[in-house]
Amino acid sequence: MTIGHRRKRLREARPMRDKGMVVARPQRARSVDTRARIFAAAVRLFAEHGYADTTVDRIARDAGVAKGTFFVHFATKDALVTELVRNQVRAARRMRDRTLASGGSPVDALRATVMSLGEQAATNRGLSRAIVSANLVNPMLGGFAESVFGGITAEMMDDVRAAQRAALLTDAVDAETIAGTLITSYFGATLHFATAPHGKALLELLAPVVEANLAGFLPRSTIAPAPTRAPAKTPASSSSSSSASTASTVKKKAKRASK
């Protein structure tokens, strides 16, 4: 085959490849759109009806897709919950990265990470309740969530160590304990928020707990000593009166003894 024939074949093949690419892109776009509709429908139903009462059939119907199409994108209903947890952790990680990139301290990054998790959970009490319920009902799902949060906790441990090196946090407590305490404050606040329908907003619960925990891990040199109270002074008149009364009692006892 001559060079001219090869060039001709390449020219003839190029439009076919281009046409295939044009077809493939809309298909991928439709697939992404379908997945997004299924996910949005699940979020809506979880928030309105809870985890237990939201079935795959209901999600597919609300999303306007066949049940088989649901399983093309998500293996189970639980896979939607894991996606929610992943999204939450991704958002917290982005907030941490932005905080550090803008010149924030490692302590600022710790605060931003936990508060970002809280902001995600605070958007919808019903949805937070559904996620909590799902993790309680399904131990495997709870284990997955723990592993996902384990990733962000490891990054928080890095921030704790950096803060300890900069003398911003005490080195008397290990990084795992400090990071774990902060994450636990988020879990506790979220649990209360999800199970108390008329309770405080999540960030109102979480913010003071995070600040109290961070303050508890400050180096001792930065903690202001508690003010000391001066001993109460006994009034002079009271002291004199007490002494006179005691002397009088002693004299009376002496007279009785002499009789």
State whether 170 and 63 are in the same domain.
no
- Whether 119 is covered by a domain: the verdict is yes
Q: What is the DSSP string of the chain?
A: --HHHHHHHHHHHHHHHHHHHHHHHHHHHHHHHHHHHHHHHHHHHHHHHTTTT--HHHHHHHHT--HHHHHHH-SSHHHHHHHHHHHHHHHHHHHHHHHHHTT--HHHHHHHHHHHHHHHHHT-HHHHHHHHHHHHH-HHHHHHHHHHHHHHHHHHHHHHHHHHHTTSS-SSS-HHHHHHHHHHHHHHHHHHHHH-TTS--HHHHHHHHHHHHHHHTS-GGGSPPPPPPPPPPPPHHHHHHHHHHHHHHHHHHHHHHH-
pLDDT-derived band at 8, boundaries 50, 70, 90: low
Residue 83: which domain range?
78-222
70 lies in the same domain as 89: no
pLDDT of residue 53: 94
Structural domains in the chain (count): 2
- Which pLDDT score is estimated for 233? 55
Read off the pLDDT of residues 128-146 as tens digits, 9 standing for 90 and up: 999 988 888 887 777 777 8
Whole-number average pLDDT of the chain: 83
Residue 7 lies in a domain: no
State how far the Cα of 101 lies from the Cα of 104, in Å rounded to an integer.
Answer: 7
The answer to whether position 244 is within a domain reads: no
24 and 129 assigned to the same domain: no
| 212 in the same domain as 88 | yes
Domain holding 159: CATH number? Answer: 1.10.357.10
What per-residue confidence (pLDDT) applies to 92? 96
* 91-114: average pLDDT: 97
Gap between the Cα atoms of 220 and 78, Å rounded = 46
User: Is 68 found in the same domain as 99?
Assistant: no
Same domain, 105 and 217: yes
Out of 74, 103, 119, pick the residue that ends a domain.
Answer: 74
Does the residue 4 lie in any domain?
no
CATH assignment at residue 33: 1.10.10.60
Asked, for residue 10, whether it belongs to a domain, the answer is no
Domain membership flag for residue 256:
no
- Looking at the structure, tell me whether residues 62 and 180 fall in a common domain: no
Does 22 reside within a domain? yes
pLDDT > 70: percent of the chain: 75
Q: Is the pLDDT of residue 111 over 60?
A: yes
pLDDT exceeds 90 at position 197: no
Same domain flag for 54 and 136: no
What pLDDT sits at residue 105?
98
Q: Is residue 193 domain-shared with residue 216, that is, in the same domain?
A: yes
130 and 56 in a single domain? The answer is: no
- Tokens representing 31? 């697939």
